[in-house]
Chains A and B, each alone.
Chain A
Amino acid sequence: MRVPAKPSTVASSIRHLSAVVFAAFFVVTSAAQQPQQQQQTWDGNRTTPVHLIPLKDELDQSIIPTETNPLPFSSRYTCLPCHIYETIQKGLHFNASLSTNAGRAGEPWVWVDERTGTLLPLSHHKSKGFWDPAKIGLTAWDFTLLFGRHLAGGGISEPAESAVTPGSRWEVAGRIEINCLGCHNAVSTQDPSEWAKQVLRENFRWAATAASGLGEVGGMASRVRGTWDIYDGPNPDDTEWAVPPFVRYDRNLFDSRHRVLFDLSHKPADSRCLACHSVSPVGLTKYSFDEDVHTAAGLKCASCHRNDLSHAMVRGYEGEALDYPGLAGEDFTCAGCHLGNEKAKGENALAGRLGAPYPKHKGFPAVHFKRLSCTVCHSGPWPGKELTRVRTSRANRLGIYGVARWSTDLPAIIQPVYVRERNGKLAPNRLLWPAFWAEQRGKEVSPLQPQAVSAAAGDLLKPEQGVVNILTAFSLDLEAGRIAVLIQRDQVYEVNVDGGLDASPYVGGILSTVPVWAIKQGKDILPLVPEFDPEAEEINPDVQTRVQEILESLAGAKGARGKPVLLYKKALFQVTETYLEKAESPVPPPASPELAWLADGKIEPLVPDFELRTIAALAGLEQTLTEEQVQGVLKALSESPSKEEGQVKRRYVYISGGKLFRLDRDGRLEVVDDDDAGPVTWPLGHEVRPARQSLGVNGCKDCHRFGSPFLFRKAKGTGPLKTDRVKTISANAFMRLDRPYQALFGLSFVVRPLFKWVLFFSILVVGSILVLVALLVLGRLSGLIEKRN
């Protein structure tokens, strides 16, 4: 029996109901809705139905946009009358954390934390080098916060009540239901950036509404106290900071019966897929990027990557039919369309599906088709001398736009690395060198979460913070258009919008072996402390005022380590009460004015040498750690208090660039090889190049020659650690091919043209004589020879 839908004033009225009554209501309405579900079997019509439908909230009540404080729409209940949500939940994009049948390895989620130098590949599916999020202590809540920006909803971001862990804030943020509109909304206002921002604000249940453009969402669940729930409504005491999330629907989108016309696409547009699946080479301009040859030919992603309501999507890799027998995945492999199914009979055996051209592969020895996937020759960038570094949407946080920069340079993902797959064939892969801190017990390492490392490391991982604080303090007192900078060696450091330090080359005239604090105005850089004679009886009052301002600014700097003083020659200047006081310096006189801290009667440098060294070492690099920092952090971790009583002293390690770093008995940093430090790889399918740009188009020597990049190019370990001690793996090692043999085999192609001529002339001689013999036999048989004789 169906409960008649009542006009919704539910958000306002239900707010006053008790939780028990409300839960009962929820159960009754949910149960009553069951008979509404229709099993979707296609009636044969190839059009997409017009979706003029009422929006439903998570209580399955119709949304009336004019109502006060309406709830965000729920895709589960809005789509429910026609589409069975539970069926869709099992789809490829939503069941990663639950599915036990992973098929071929896919791209891992990468936990990037630049501060601690963490690049940790995570996946719910087992694959070499991928870490299970649960094993490193990531709850569904943590995982959603980290990666919800590129999650499609459902699955781990929509945990059952029984799966909710302490410390999570699901009640405040809500679950992230499957974001149907994220893929199927054909309207250009569908905004993946907005989705990401709402997720990062913990506005989980509001994210779909905001991203679809159906309404404007304000407030941040992340700032709201943990006891707030959606029925509490707005916070009348705080309308500035801890504003609970709310939605204001665009009323123009609703008709008089509160229905919304959804412009839906049964097959999502490529841009919807690319929001999360973009991969592009670093440094390439957008206009010069060549799209996949299939896209250029007019196919859409969904033309091959098909699915039915179950959303069990065809991935199109070789052997998919073995992993998912019911999926017809083999039909949409490269061979499925281009070569047809040679094992089938009749129409199914025919090649050319969707207009796929039939490749003749002239001159290719058949062994290539036994040992190589199609993608080896046809996909990814042409193997040049260097591996191509790429960024991916999910790993490098691409496609999120706003004032702040969201994308990250790390992790450094490179391609193509040719790796032998489960089926014994080579396939092009993307490669990532993991980097993380870990606890080592025996041979087993367990990654540490970045926040645990930060807590133990203290300021060791924030070497620039002291300089940032001082520059910020100086800049506060400067006129508009002038900023404080630090000159050290040949670099100028200034504070950037993210609160970090930007380095640029210094070409000015301030020459000093010690760091110089200065003021930058436009392109001009002048010393912060003006030139004066500190030993003069009378110091210029303007200079005195300036020095006093500088010292007072320093005194107010965040993290000030003592009382600021200025040392110059034999004089020491400090502000006592409100006066600039001059005294005799207790330290050797510096050649130029030098700011310092006076703490416990001792003179300390304004910025410790360690911090200056580290800043200088990392200036202009994407690396975020030095070996000295790693050594320090490993010591700090070893000395951190153990949570487990009576535990044997723990050993900590850091992994980067394919090597494992640890402290030896003398506390020095030593480097060893370790399986867990090895690179992680996953196959790539796109971008597919045209046939004329495929490997082998120039002949065998595209791959088979001495020193060819395909066989001998080296993948050198990279990571957040600045070090020369990295692992290097040759392409032939990934392929499990013998290097000397491949070199010899490559050399054989030098003499191959000659060899072909030798064979040709041999054939000519033997063939001619055979023809002669055959003619003689014919002559005898016909009697022509006897007659002639």
Chain B
Amino acid sequence: MFFRLISVVSLLGLAVRLTYLRFSHDTVSAGAQTGSLSRAAYFRWLSHGLAALFQPAGWKWLRATYAYCCTVYPPPMLKWIFVGLSTSLIYLAVSGFAFAIFSPRGLFGIPLLLHVVAGGVFAVSLAADVIYRAKEYSSIIEVFTSGGRPLGYLLGLFSRPLRQSLLYWIFVISGLALVSTALFSMLPYFSFRTQLGLVATHRWSALAAALSAMAFFDSVLPRKEA
């Protein structure tokens, strides 16, 4: 129950926070007045955005996003690694959290089988992604040398590149925990109590991975220019 509560609150909270920031940025960039940043305006903006996803015009937005990602993750290998990582992560998150939150039985049936398959794709994609992109996010290492003052480390985290770097490594660590707990659950070496611990770790890692992925992609995806 505790996990369900925390999951719902944190996932919704972060989604609202990120979309609201994007909404306010778009609104301000469009030259609107401060008063137009009301809650009602936000929900209108959000509903239009969601509705657009299901309209032909919405696909343009998706295509644009995809095209942008292709520039960030250039072909041939990295594009497909990104596609594999992102699609598997989306399925894993949706199936995992939907069952964890709404089903007392947990994940089962065909969604479970697909979850396992997606988990394999995720593990391979994550490993490949780390090989290719770890150096891009190595700025997290640099921050520890910037001035050598603890405050400097903290202030440095508010810069966009460093935030991205931090989120990336949180995501990688969570992903590693997810894959490890999945593998360890399948090995005949861990007792029932350890299994329970592995399941719990898997769930909390999934939450951390989902939150960090959301925040990471928000920081990566471009915003509308003024």
Contacts and interface: CB of A to CB of B under 8 A. Distances in A.
B188 A777 contact: no
- In the complex, which range does the number of interface residues on chain B fall in? 35 or more
A367 B202 CA distance: 14
A745 B180 CA distance: 22
A17 interface: no
- In the complex, which range does the number of interface residues on chain A fall in? 35 or more
A32 interface: no
What secondary structure prevails in chain B residues at the interface with A?
helix
A770 to B, nearest CB: 6
A780 B141 contact: yes
Contact of B127 (A745, A755, A766): A766
A343 to B, nearest CB: 15
Nearest to A760: B183
B200 to A, nearest CB: 10
A360 interface: yes
B130 A769 contact: yes
Interface in B131-182: 131, 134, 138, 140-142, 144-145, 169, 172-173, 175-176, 179-180, 182
Interface stretch (B21-29, B43-51, B116-124): B116-124
A752 interface: yes
A365 B123 contact: no
Contact of A766 (B113, B120, B126): B126
A766 B179 contact: yes
A363 B175 contact: no
A767 B175 CA distance: 10
A762 B131 CA distance: 11
B190 A759 contact: no
A770 B127 CA distance: 11
B110 interface: yes
B7 interface: no
B21 to A, nearest CB: 29
Contacts of A765: 127, 130-131
Interface in A147-164: none
A28 interface: no
A766 B176 contact: yes
B109 interface: yes
Nearest to A339: B192
B141 A777 contact: yes
Name the residue in B108, B127, B130, B145 with the highest tally of chain A Cβ atoms < 10 Å from its Cβ. B127
B195 A776 contact: no
A360 B192 CA distance: 6
A776 B188 contact: no
Nearest to B137: A773
A284 interface: no
Given A361-B192, A759-B179, A776 B126 contact: no
A14 interface: no
A367 B183 contact: no
A763 interface: yes
B75 interface: no
B179 A362 contact: no
A770 B177 CA distance: 12
B109 A741 contact: yes
Interface of B: 105-106, 108-110, 113, 116, 119-120, 123-124, 126-127, 130-131, 134, 138, 140-142, 144-145, 169, 172-173, 175-176, 179-180, 182-183, 185-192, 195-196, 199
Interface of A: 359-367, 369-370, 699, 738, 741, 744-745, 748, 752, 755-756, 758-763, 765-767, 769-770, 773, 776-777, 780-781, 786
By Cβ-Cβ distance, the 4 closest A-B pairs, closest first, are: A363-B188, A762-B123, A360-B191, A765-B127
